[in-house]
Structures are given as structure tokens and as C-alpha cells.
Structure 1
Amino acid sequence: MPTDFDPSLKPTMGMMGLHYKVPINNWLYGGVGMYAAITGDQGGLFTLGVDVGMNKKLYNNLYFDANFHFGGGGGYRYLINDGAFINPNIGFSYKQEKFNVGIQYSHVNFYTGKIKSNAVSFFIEIPSTLRFTEYQNAQKKFIASNLSDTNFWKQPVVKNVQQVRFDFFKPIGNSRKDNVNNQEPLTETLYVLGFEYQKYISSNTFLFTHVDAIYKGLRAGFMDLFFGVGYHPYQTEKIIFFTKIGIGAAGGRIAPEGGLMIYPSTGIDVKISNKLAVSSHLGYYKAIAGDLEAYTYGFGLKYYGFNGGTNNHSTFKTQGIRIGIQNQTYLNVLKTDSPMVDLQLLGVQINYDINQTFYLIGEASFAYGGKSGGYAQGMAGVGIYSPYFLNNKLRAHLEAMAGAAGGAGVDTGEGIVLRPTIGLSYKLTNALSLQSSIGKLITPFGNLKATNITIGLSFGLATLSTRK
């Protein structure tokens, strides 16, 4: 790690990554992934990117594994400049029935900046099966009957939860601001907005991952990423108590430290329907090898899904989901520390259909061009599809989204952003669509108002969802 601009920084960095990979055929795969710094005074370095790789059997359970990752993100802008980076990996994996382990030789290169380093990477993979059919079969209702034991859909229903989180961090101890603020004590309450996904592995145990970004309390740019496990010590039909323990990374706008964090919490969910619940929680937020420390409290809105199988249920609908990889261009973006720039962002967007017309949206995107490495945004919202037209190939969409964004001097004020867009999608195949849109990125508490042009590819699928 380069240290010429600040000799007090540690010359090494460790990162963790969380990836989701999908087989394309029996040797080729693709996917998306995030990285975050956890050691080496680079806390706050986060990235988002796309993967393509190959996996070929060598002998028995030993496989050759190589992949290429391209993404955007960053921490100290002096070190990463635009934010674009490449990460090729080559190595081996050893496959077991329920998990795979591996080792790779890696190269991390922020090629417009100063971070260019080789590394050794260790990984563990957990294989899973996603049961789905073509997107054109989405939003159909039916009754399952006379299913054989070998039927593709005769599997246990999987419970999952999607949650929008509002969290509040009350710093304690020796928590400090960044070097720009002379590492003054951090005493302000931090307001963060986040998204969490939970997948149940039993009736009272679940795995989760969540990401947060600040929108008040500090200049925008602080974020975190956690994954972990949760448990229900007590639950009724309407009330659910939970405990969770997460490990992950956090940073940005605070004093230099590694980034590795631990986050235990406890709380209660109150169900207002079979699909919706309001949630409240208390927790403790602590850097494992740093000074950041806070008590936390917050609330959220949870949406329950039951999908992927038919056991113990008889009435279903097919749930439509679209997953998009996007290039987002923002024109004439105001900055607080330099002239206007045109930003290039790599984004991942997930659309969750409510019916044939309306859908929910979740999105994360990171800068890779425009001398604003470290700028990131996370949004949620709602969209409207038009009916298909032009030989059933084209349809329009209108989206309204809100979220938190900041970093790299982009003038988002305290971090709240709004983005209305209108666009078109063209069906290339039953699964793939080409999408484009135009809109405005607006900061209600800042000075930013930038035109947004997006183009990307979207993959659609339909899976089973119970009508419980």
C-alpha cells in the first residue's frame, strides 16, 4: 500500500469479499460481488463489481479456478482516483457436498490510482439451488396437486425476509473523526439508512447480510457491510423476538483504522400481516482493531417471502424478479472540492414484481469514472411497467427512488438523494432484456441536480411464492 502521502498509515491492507456466482454452463460462471477493507488503516474502502470465471476439474474433488473481477469504489481518493479497479484471480478449489474451499493468487489494481498490489486470497463457497422458470410465466396463480416425490418443485418452502432499516449510532469511547477534522472526538449521532436480506435455514435460525449508508450526522461517505446469523429465542403468531451477531466492515469520514467490525443486536418484530412486520432493535457497534464504538437503536419494515418449493402448501403464484447490471452516467455533477464532473457508476438493481404493473426496487452503485472514487449510493423505490408493445418486445417503465449517497466530494449534502427516471426495455430473449433510462439525481438538502442516463442488461426469472 502506498504511504507517501501519510507515512503513519500501515503499508498493508486486508479485504473481505461477499460474492454471488451463477453457473452459465458446466465450467463457466458469472456473478456480482462486494469487497471491503478490514485491516491496514483503509477502513471505508468499499467496492462493487462483476465477475466472470471458469472452474475445471483436475483430479477427484480438486478443481482449477480462475476469474476476473471489474468494479468501482474506493476509500482515500488520493489512492484510488476514479475508483475503477480490476482483480484477476487464479488458483484451486476443493469441492465438498455442502461447501467448497479454495486458495487463489490475486492482483488488485486501481489502475487510475496508486493501489496496485498482489495478494493471496482464501475463500469458502456454499452451493445452493435456485428453482425458477422463465420470466414470462411470472405472476400466475395456481393450485399444486398430485406432485410426485421426484417433482422439481416438491421441495421445502424457503422463508426469506427483505428489510428497509433506519439505524441510529450513538458514538462512545475514543471514536474519532477523519484527518480532515484533525481526528476530533466523534460525538454526533449518525443517521444511517440500510437494506437487509435474511434467509432462514430452520424455523428459528437465519443467515443475513445488510449494508448501510449515512444520511445525517457527518458529511456523507460513511457506510458499512455485515453478514451473520440470527436466532429467534421466542415467537408467537404476531410477536417475534430475535438476536443477531454480524461481522463486517465500516468506515469513511472517521479516523484511519482497519475497518473490521462486530455488531451484536437484539430486537422485536410485530407482524401486521402475513407478509409485513415492523421491527425495532438495539445493538452494539465495535471496531475489532480500532476505536470506533457506538450504541445503536433503530427500526425497520420487513417483507416476508415464502418461495422455492411446494411442501406443506397448496396455493401459489409465480413471483417475477429482474436482476440488472447497469452503467449509470451522471452529467455535470457538482462537487465541493473541484469543478463539475461527469460521473460513471457501475450499478446492480433488483426489481421484485408486485403484480404485472408495479414492482419494488433495490439498487447499489459505485463510481468508477469521473475522479470521484469512493462515491457510492444505495436506493430503494417503486416502479411501474407499461404493457408490452411492438411485437411484444418493448415496454416502458417509470421509477421513483430515494436513498443515501455520498463520498469523494460529491455535493449530496448530508446524503439523502432522490431519483425519478423514465425508460424503455427491449426483450432480447425470454430471460434477457436491454434497458435504458433517463432521469434526475436530486439532493433535497444539497445543491446537486444532475441528469442521469442509464443503460444495462437485465435477467428475468420467475420462482414460486406461496399465497399464505
Structure 2
Amino acid sequence: MKKNLFLLAILFSVQILNAQNNQVPEKKIQKAFAKTDFLSIEMPDFNEKNMGFSGIHYNLMLNNWSYAGLGIYGSISGIRGGFFTLGVNAGIKKYFGKDFYIDTGFHFGGGGGAAAPDGGGAFILPHFNLGYDFKNFSLNSGWSYVDFFDGGLIKGHQINVGLEIPLNYDYADYGVSENEYDLAALKKSGWNINSKRTSLMLHFNNLKVQGDETNKNVQRLGRATIRLAGFEFASYFSKNWFTFIKVDGAYDGIRAGYMDVFLGGGYHFAFNNNRTNLLAKFGAGAGGGGGVESKGGFLIYPDISIEQRIFNDIYLSINKGFVMSPDATFYTSSFGVGLKYYVERNGIISKEKSFKSGKFKGLEVITKHDIYVKAKRDANPSEDMHQISLQINLDLNKNVFLAGQTSFANFGGAGAYAEGIVGLGTRSNALLNGKFSLFAQILGGAAGGGGISTGQGFIIKPSTGLNYKLNKKVSFRTSGGYVKAMGGNLSSVFVNFGIKYHLSFLKMK
């Protein structure tokens, strides 16, 4: 009798453990907002027009009154086309009354370009704004101050204006990544909502310089083809309409340093049983560098793409369009190819697709500080160069991830230097009570500017390091490695350290 009771207790315990393992993870909500802002910066040369500085930011609400996030700025007016920066945001957003609020905070970053007096690239940008909340969006404006303090000459007070849009997201803890659940279990959970469609594309683009013989870029560059590598992220707000952000950097065709960033929207038409897509897009943004004359930097990007499914949710994309300034000072015909990955995420209900199961996929966002030891210059003596860097990892499985990284110099006399690189990495299983993990990665892509010797801009960057888990969302990360410019003299050991924010999202199958 005792033996039977013991066996029954074991079976009951196993059943409880299985039930716990099959429990669908809780759907959590992170409050956040996207922001675009503009400020007109007075330049140190009084004969020069102000530089129109426009930014795109994404901030997480840490509680009811404070936020932190990331932002990228670029020149869109004046004469400094190709001037870009990357930085971190932090601030306080406090309501008084029902709709008015005060927003005070700062942005710290690095970058530069376009032969501007940016020094090493490090700068601060505090602000104090008054805003009004219209519920679906808010507007704010106020005082700000910019100072490129590491040997730069750009500094001063100005008025800024901004537009904010609430952009919350659903997530689960990173620890449940790669767990899979059937549709019946998901229907009984908080994930029983409409799915959201997003896409990520890694692509190569070619810009053929156009114009007659009087065009400044034809005179400078001839009929060069600027070869770019980059990524595009799109989010759908209806069956057919979407918004996107696109970032590219030059790796061949002209001297290193050209970069462009576009924000826009488009229409998606699917046919051939959803195996073929036709997309029309229009974007506006900033671009320049690498000897390109783009005046203030404001560019437009009309484009048509055709995509063909090659495997499950992976499509081959071919695009044709234009990248140009409105007055055609910079005028190019663009042609490119890419691999695009579509994801139906964070919901099990869709009018277009039927699902059988869902799997949680890990996503990591890493902000870090890089130090290149004795970075080679084209003319000046070698010295250490520092960068602020953003890396995003998408887990392919428990141990392999796809990585994309962008970095901008902030100390070391190379303010115009920037990178845009992609690659693959692998990590170990958790070690020492789940606190540590080891990783290795190899990235490659476009880099240049700031007098750093990168030739036409292609670099490779292998590294290895470790993560230390601080809590369910955040880890400390450090690594070391080697960076080599394939067409230049840059050949440096580097180290970095930073913070990794990790979560998982539900991918439907």
C-alpha cells in the first residue's frame, strides 16, 4: 500500500511539473513613446547658415514620470549634409493638469561629419520643454543647449520642437525564449489578441550618380556607383499600409563616410497566393558624407520593390528607385537586393493567416562603449578612439543570433567616424547559477569618416566576451576583439563594455 501511494505521489508531482512547464508565459506591457524633434543650431562661423538638426528617438517609461532610451540625429538643412550622431536619452515627464506636461532631460552621444568642427564627437544636449497631450500624439517645445565638448566648437542655446507618439509593446521575459506552445494553450492566455506584422531586411543597395556635367556630384565623383549595405525595419498598421526606417552606409565606390537614414511609409500588395509582394515606398531623411555634396543633408527616397518567397517567412527582395535631394544637387538612381524576414508577432488572431503554434523568440538591445587601441589615421598620428555603440541581436535559436550594430565616435579626435555592420554570433548556455554566459561574434560592413584609415569603408570585426545577468531584463556585457579595414590601415585591438536589455516576443507559426 505504501509503495502504491509513493508511486501515485511521484506521478502527481510529474503531472504538476508538466502543467507548470506548459503554462503560457505572462504577456507584459512596456509603456514607451517614439519622438521626432528639430532644432536649429548656430554654427561657430558666423557666415555659415544654422544647421538644422533632426532626431528620431525611442524611449521606455521607467515609471509614471521618468524615461530612458536611444536617439539618432542628422543634419537636414544648412551645409553639413552627412552630419550624424547616436546617443542615449534620459528624462522626467511630469503632468500638471489633465493634458499639459513638463519634459526635462538630456541626450548624451557622439558623432559628427561633413568637415564640421565636432572635435572627438562627444556632445551633450539637455532640454526643458512644455508639452500638450492630444492622447494619440503630443507636441512639445522649449529650451535646449548643445555642446560638442571634446575639442569641438559647436555649442549654443536654441529652441527645439518635438512630436511624440505612444508606442507601447507587449513582451515576455527573456528566459522563456525558444519555448513553443500550441494554439489551444495560447487561446487561454493574454496572447489571445490580434497579431502584429513586422519585417526586417538586410540589403545591399547601389546608388548610380546622375545629372548633367554641371552637377557638383558628377564633377566630384564622376558617374560613380556608391555601394551600400544596411537594414530596413517595417511595422504594419493595417493589412497593406506600413511605416519603415532604413539605414545604409557606403562600403565601396567612393571614399568611406557616406551614410543615409530614412523614415517613411508604404503600401504592400500581395498576390500569387501571398508568395509574391509588390511594395511602393516613400521616405524622407538625412544623408551625406564620403565627399558627396548633399547641401544640408535632406534627402527623399521613392522606391518600388518586388519580393518573392524563397522559404517560409523569408523573401528575396529587388528594389528600384531614387535617392536624391529635392533640388537634385544629389541625384542618384538606386538598385538593390535584400533578404527580408516577416514576423507575425504577439497575437494569435489574424484575418490573413491561420496559425498552429507560437514560439517565443529572444531579442537583445545593447548599448556600449567601444575603445579602439591606437586607431590608424589617414594623416594624423595613431591614437585611441572611443565610440558609442548600439547593437541589436535576434535569436535564431538558444545559442545562435543574428546581429546588427551601428557606432559613432565620441572621443579621440575622430568625430565623423561611424560604422554600420551586421553578422552572426553564438553564445553558451547559462553558467554559474544562470548568472554568466559566454559569446563570440563576427560582424562586417561599412565604416569610415573622421580621418580613420578605412579605405573605401569595408571592415570586419570579430570579438568574444561575457554577459553577467543583473535581473530578468538587464545584463552587464563586456568583450574584446579585433577590427580590420580591408582596404585601409585600420587594424586595432578593441575592448568594450555596456548594458544589455533583453526580452522575448511571441512569433506565430
State if a TM-score over 0.5 links the two structures.
Answer: yes
Q: Distance in 2 between matches of 1:341 and 1:45?
A: 23
Matched, 1:347 2:347: no
Q: CA RMSD in A?
A: 1.8
Aligned mate of 1:332, from 352, 374, 387: 374
Aligned twin of 2:168: 129
TM-score by length of 2: 0.87
Q: CA deviation at 1:3?
A: 5.5
4+ long deviations beyond 4 Å = 146-149
Matched, 1:62 2:100: yes
**Could you list the per-position Cα deviations for residues 68-121 of structure 1 after superposition, in whole angstroms to 9, with x for gaps in the alignment?**
000000024551010001111111222233222221321121112111122222
Structure having the higher Rg:
2
Q: Distance in 1 between matches of 2:209 and 2:232?
A: 22
Aligned mate of 1:249, from 282, 286, 290: 286
Q: CA deviation at 1:389?
A: 1.2
Segment of structure 1 superposing worse, 84-93 or 115-124: 115-124
Matched, 1:32 2:70: yes
SS of equivalent residue, structure 1 residue 184? helix
Aligned twin of 1:445: 487
Q: Distance in 2 between matches of 1:372 and 1:417?
A: 17
Aligned twin of 1:114: 153
Segment of structure 1 superposing worse, 138-147 or 226-235: 138-147
Q: Distance in 2 between matches of 1:158 and 1:127?
A: 16
SS of equivalent residue, structure 1 residue 464? strand
Q: Could you tell me which amino acid in structure 1 is paired with residue 246 of structure 2?
A: H
Q: Distance in 2 between matches of 1:169 and 1:352?
A: 29
Q: Distance in 2 between matches of 1:102 and 1:125?
A: 8
Q: Distance in 1 between matches of 2:447 and 2:96?
A: 45
Aligned twin of 2:83: 45
Aligned mate of 1:206, from 238, 242, 249: 242
**Could you list the per-position Cα deviations for residues 343-383 of structure 1 after superposition, in whole angstroms to 9, with x for gaps in the alignment?**
10000111111111101101111000010001000111111
Structure with more of its chain in helix, by fraction:
2
2:445·2:459 contact (CA, 8 Å) conserved in 1?
yes
How many residue pairs match? The answer is 459
Aligned mate of 2:197, from 141, 153, 159: 159
Name the % identity.
Answer: 33
Matched, 1:422 2:464: yes
Q: CA deviation at 1:12?
A: 0.8
Q: Distance in 2 between matches of 1:70 and 1:416?
A: 28
Unpaired segments ≥5 residues, structure 1: none
Aligned twin of 1:190: 226
Q: CA deviation at 1:58?
A: 1.2
Q: Could you tell me which amino acid in structure 2 is paired with residue 338 of structure 1?
A: N
Q: Distance in 1 between matches of 2:505 and 2:270?
A: 30
Q: Distance in 1 between matches of 2:176 and 2:476?
A: 19
Segment of structure 1 superposing worse, 139-148 or 70-79: 139-148
**Could you list the per-position Cα deviations for residues 224-265 of structure 1 after superposition, in whole angstroms to 9, with x for gaps in the alignment?**
110000112453321111110000011112236111111101
Aligned twin of 1:308: 346
2:251·2:456 contact (CA, 8 Å) conserved in 1?
yes
TM-score by length of 1: 0.94
Unpaired segments ≥5 residues, structure 2: 1-41
Q: Distance in 2 between matches of 1:255 and 1:241?
A: 32
Matched, 1:240 2:277: yes
Q: Could you tell me which amino acid in structure 1 is paired with residue 60 of structure 2?
A: V
2:269·2:279 contact (CA, 8 Å) conserved in 1?
yes
Aligned mate of 1:139, from 153, 164, 178: 178
Q: Could you tell me which amino acid in structure 2 is paired with residue 118 of structure 1?
A: H
Aligned twin of 2:28: none
Matched, 1:278 2:320: no
Q: CA deviation at 1:148?
A: 7.2
SS of equivalent residue, structure 1 residue 311? coil
Matched, 1:259 2:301: no
SS of equivalent residue, structure 1 residue 355? coil
Aligned twin of 1:230: 266
SS of equivalent residue, structure 1 residue 272? strand
Aligned mate of 1:176, from 216, 221, 243: 216
Q: 1:387 to 1:120 in 2, by over 3 A?
A: same
